[in-house]
């Protein structure tokens, strides 16, 4: 193996289109700075869902804004950097724009990928694990081609306005005590999902990489070696994971006040 290996980056939950600790525009500028920071030594970048807080892609129109991010992604792809995009629950109606305009593959379900000899299971995380049956039903409805075709008949001003409205209502309906609190191994449903996978059909997975939870988590699973990684979010924390062929670590960008949940006392951020 060469002495120097380029790094693979994983990041999720930018939620561009909604203000938080920074305005959406300032957060977009921050993300572009981060991309400039990591690109020189990046082997690949995985965008693991909810990059946008709302998105519907018409045949001839996409949501207004995000030009800095889209331009930077185009530039990096033109320079030959592989970028992979996973849809999340907020941007599941991403269709062909990124793939056709930039050559960025779009994944709607988790994938398994070998990276530098380690096996990664990568996906946004929405709709996985036990419970949340209501959301799973809604996701099936939204993924239905007939429903998508009907929605596309709306004028973009109305359709994108509705997407923004429903996205904000989705956040309002979340229970803050669940959204912002680590519930423990027995109640964190993505940890449950990963533990079930290693005990049944995927015992060889080294890393489960998810977003969606909005908490930064690095958890050793029940087999004592596989790790569940939740990438956190950029509304407040600005966290990401990086794999250098030997070790995967969670880091933060331009923010020092981040809590990481772990069952290992050796982790630092």
pLDDT, tens digit, 9 for 90 and up, residues 87-99? 998 887 888 899 9
What DSSP state is assigned to residue 174?
S
Let me know if residue 141 belongs to a domain.
yes
- Domain CATH for 11: 3.60.21.10
Phi–psi pair at 250, nearest 5 degrees = -100, 135
Count up the domains in the chain and report the number. 1
What is the enclosing helix (H) or strand (E) of 198? helix 189-199
Torsion of CA 200, 201, 203, 209, to 10 degrees: -110
| Sign of the torsion formed by the C-alpha atoms of 96, 44, 41 and 207 | positive
- Give the residue numbers spanning the domain of 233: 7-262
- Closest listed residue to residue 17, CA positions, set 44, 43, 56: 56
CB-CB neighbours of 105 under 10 Å:
12
CB-CB neighbours of 113 under 10 Å:
16
Q: Which of 30-39, 58-67, 131-140, 186-195 has the highest mean pLDDT?
A: 30-39
CB-CB neighbours of 242 under 10 Å:
17
Q: Under DSSP, is residue 54 helix (H, G, I), strand (E, B) or coil?
A: coil
**Looking at residue 44, what is its pLDDT?**
98
What is the enclosing helix (H) or strand (E) of 196? helix 189-199
Q: Is the pLDDT of residue 111 over 50?
A: yes
**Token pair of 49, please?**
């869902």
**Token pair of 63, please?**
């949501």
Burial class (CB in 10 A: 0-12, 13-18, 19+), 156: middle
Strands laid side by side in the 111-115 sheet: 111-115, 118-122, 207-210, 227-231, 216-220, 260-262
Per the model's pLDDT, the better-predicted residue between 36 and 144 turns out to be 36
Let me know if residue 2 belongs to a domain.
no
Q: In terms of pTM, does the model score above 0.75?
A: yes
Question: How confident is the model over 63-76, as a mean pLDDT?
Answer: 94
Let me know if residue 1 belongs to a domain.
no
Let me know if residue 267 belongs to a domain.
no
Q: Which of 89-93, 110-114, 134-138 has the highest mean pLDDT?
A: 110-114
**Looking at residue 175, what is its pLDDT?**
47
**Token pair of 96, please?**
């062909």
CB-CB neighbours of 170 under 10 Å:
15
Q: Is the pLDDT of residue 155 over 80?
A: no
Let me know if residue 92 belongs to a domain.
yes
Strands laid side by side in the 248-252 sheet: 106-107, 83-86, 42-48, 7-11, 239-243, 248-252
Let me know if residue 268 belongs to a domain.
no
Per the model's pLDDT, the better-predicted residue between 65 and 244 turns out to be 244
End-to-end CA distance of the chain: 27
Let me know if residue 246 belongs to a domain.
yes
**Looking at residue 176, what is its pLDDT?**
46
DSSP string, 123-142: ---TT-SS--HHHHHHHHHH
Let me know if residue 269 belongs to a domain.
no
Rounded Cα–Cα distance for residues 57 and 264 (Å): 42
Rounded Cα–Cα distance for residues 217 and 55 (Å): 27
């Amino acid at each position: 193996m060469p002495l120097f290996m380029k790094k693979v980056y994983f990041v999720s939950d930018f939620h561009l289109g909604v203000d938080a600790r920074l305005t959406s525009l300032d957060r977009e500028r921050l993300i572009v700075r981060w991309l400039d920071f990591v690109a020189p030594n990046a082997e690949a970048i995985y965008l693991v869902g909810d990059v946008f807080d709302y998105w519907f892609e018409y045949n001839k129109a996409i949501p207004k804004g995000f030009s800095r991010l889209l331009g930077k992604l185009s530039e990096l792809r033109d320079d030959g950097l592989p970028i992979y995009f996973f849809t999340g629950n907020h941007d599941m109606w991403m269709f062909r724009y990124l793939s056709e305009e930039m050559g960025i593959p779009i994944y709607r379900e988790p994938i398994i990928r070998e990276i530098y000899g380690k096996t990664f299971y990568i996906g946004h995380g929405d709709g996985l694990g036990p419970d949340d049956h209501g959301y799973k039903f809604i996701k099936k409805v939204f993924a239905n081609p007939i429903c998508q075709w009907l929605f596309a008949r709306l004028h973009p001003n109305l359709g994108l306005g509705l997407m923004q409205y429903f996205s904000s209502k989705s956040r309002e309906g979340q229970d803050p005590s669940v959204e912002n609190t680590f519930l423990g191994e027995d109640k964190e449903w993505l940890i449950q999902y990963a533990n079930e996978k290693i005990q049944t059909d995927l015992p060889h997975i080294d890393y489960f990489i998810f977003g969606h939870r909005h908490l930064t988590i690095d958890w050793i699973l029940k087999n004592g070696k596989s790790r569940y990684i939740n990438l956190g979010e950029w509304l407040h924390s600005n966290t990401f994971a990086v794999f250098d062929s030997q070790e995967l670590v969670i880091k933060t960008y331009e923010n020092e006040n981040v809590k990481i949940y772990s069952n290992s006392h050796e982790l630092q951020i």
